[in-house]
């Protein structure tokens, strides 16, 4: 009879260890799934935020192009700074050749 008790004691210990391993594995699986769900929700939130920011960037670029257009700048320059478009005789085009030296000419005739 002593032998039977030792086998049943061993079987009980093996069963307890197996049950403990199964419960530990189940807890790990549940924890990983929960963690995965949380991370997936964070990814979805970040992707939505990225889409919103991309739309905002496109809108800001469009506003910038509109603000930089000559049709918008010219009236503002006239009104706030008193500027006007030069006549054809006031436009001077300077052409610099590649080998030309830069000369510092400070004659009074060049000054306004």
Q: Domain of residue 57: give its range.
A: 2-67
> Would 92 be classed as within a structural domain?
no
> Would 78 be classed as within a structural domain?
no
Q: pTM for this one? A: 0.48
CA atoms of 21 and 76, how far apart (whole Å): 77
> Would 106 be classed as within a structural domain?
no
Per-residue pLDDT of the chain (112 residues; tens, 9 = 90+): 444 456 666 788 888 999 999 999 999 999 999 999 999 999 999 999 999 999 999 999 999 999 888 888 888 888 999 888 888 889 998 888 876 665 555 555 544 4
The domain total for the chain is 1
Tokens of 39: 């991370």
> Would 9 be classed as within a structural domain?
yes
> Would 41 be classed as within a structural domain?
yes
> Would 33 be classed as within a structural domain?
yes
Neighbours of 2 (CB within 10 A): 5
Give the torsion sign (CA, 20, 26, 30, 36): positive
């Amino acid at each position: 009879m002593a032998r039977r008790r030792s086998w049943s004691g061993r079987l009980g210990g093996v069963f307890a260890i197996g049950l403990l391993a199964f419960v530990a594995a189940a807890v790990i699986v549940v924890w990983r799934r929960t963690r995965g769900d949380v991370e997936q929700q964070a990814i979805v939130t970040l992707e939505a935020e990225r889409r919103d920011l991309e739309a905002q960037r496109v809108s800001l670029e469009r506003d910038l192009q509109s603000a930089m257009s000559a049709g918008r700048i010219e009236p503002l320059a006239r009104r706030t700074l008193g500027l006007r478009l030069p006549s054809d005789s006031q436009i001077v085009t300077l052409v610099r050749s590649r080998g030309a030296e830069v000369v510092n000419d400070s004659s009074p005739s060049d000054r306004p």
